[in-house]
Amino acid sequence: EVQLVESGGGLVQPGGSLRLSCVASGFPFSPYSMNWVRQAPGKGLEWLSYIRTSSSMIYYADSVKGRFTISRDDAKNSVFLQMNSLRAEDTAVYYCVRSVQYGFDHWGQGNLVTVSS
Amino acid sequence: QSALTQPPSASGSPGQSVTISCTGTSSDIGGYNFVSWYQQHPGKVPKLLIYEVTKRPSGVPDRFSASKSGNTASLTVSGLQAEDEADYYCNSYSGSNSLLFGGGTKLTVL
């Protein structure tokens, strides 16, 4: 069974940093591209970042470019999202998502990040 | 990177069909066959319904179908059932190396 388990969320002050982690299991991790997608409370889905196999290509949404960094460690079946200069509008549930041909086929349960003083 | 445009709401009676549109531009929906659709029930994780415009993952009922014409993609839910009441989101690859979601459509089964 495919499982994606996120961790690292929580409460952080504006301007602060957090690092989200996602550990994958139940499938061979290295051949798959991975993404981070978030959903603000009561709002829609927002794609944030994509990382291809072997980190060969990385994309970011304009809203997080320059502040967030995606990375992966295939030896640990893990993908990460380093989030810096956090703002109140970054408050959301953050999902780790596997993609196949740009379709998001498996989602983690989500990890809440709250940016507030 | 503007979001794709979806109607905020749609509705239909049990057994009927309903179609949800998703409008983009020639730089996203119109330019690539990487449109996908997701269903999200309240408090739940989104579920992939359609990928690559028309393909259904295993386990998704064939009541869910999709298409694309020009810059607009569409999801049709046939034989509406109560459990189809949920939020639906479209997504497309964009030529600016990004992926865009639509704003979401709340489907109500009357």
Interface residues of B toward A, Cβ cutoff 8 Å, are 1, 3, 34, 36, 38, 40, 45-48, 50-52, 55, 57, 87, 89, 91, 93, 97-104
Q: Are A115 and A88 in contact (CB under 8 A)?
A: yes
Nearest CA in chain B to A46: B101
**What pLDDT, on a 0 to 100 scale, did the predictor assign at position A102?**
82
Determine what percent of chain A is predicted with pLDDT higher than 70.
100
Cβ contacts of residue B66 below 8 Å, gap of 6+? B35, B37, B49, B50, B53, B54, B73, B74, B75, B76
CA nearest neighbour of B100 among B18, B47, B38 = B38
Using CB atoms within 10 A of its CB, is residue A91 exposed (0-12), middle (13-18) or buried (19+)?
middle
Which amino acid is residue B72, in one-letter code?
A: T
Nearest CA in chain A to B96: A59
Nearest CA in chain A to B100: A47
Contact A47 B98 (CB under 8 A): yes
Using CB atoms within 10 A of its CB, is residue A94 exposed (0-12), middle (13-18) or buried (19+)?
buried
Whether A108 has a pLDDT exceeding 80, the answer reads yes
**What pLDDT, on a 0 to 100 scale, did the predictor assign at position B36?**
98
Contact A59 B99 (CB under 8 A): yes
- Token pair for A13: 């002050």
pLDDT tens for each residue of A57-107: 999 999 999 999 999 999 999 999 999 999 999 999 999 999 988 899 999
Q: Between B34, B38, B87, which is nearest A102 by CB?
A: B34
Contact B36 A45 (CB under 8 A): no
Strands B47-50 and B35-40: antiparallel
Which amino acid is residue A58, in one-letter code?
A: I
Q: Between A37, A45, A61, which is nearest B98 by CB?
A: A61
| Three-class HEC string of A45-97 | EEEEEEECHHHCCEEECCCCCCCEEEEEEHHHCEEEEEECCCCHHHCEEEEEE
Per-residue pLDDT band for A15 (boundaries 50, 70, 90) equals: very high
Q: Are A115 and A92 in contact (CB under 8 A)?
A: no
Rounded to whole angstroms, the Cα distance separating A63 from B72 reads 24
**What pLDDT, on a 0 to 100 scale, did the predictor assign at position B1?**
64
Nearest CA distance, A108 vs chain B (angstrom): 8
Residues lower than pLDDT 70 in chain B: 1
Handedness of CA A94, B106, B51, B53 (dihedral sign): negative
Contact B48 A101 (CB under 8 A): no
pLDDT tens for each residue of A22-33: 999 999 999 999
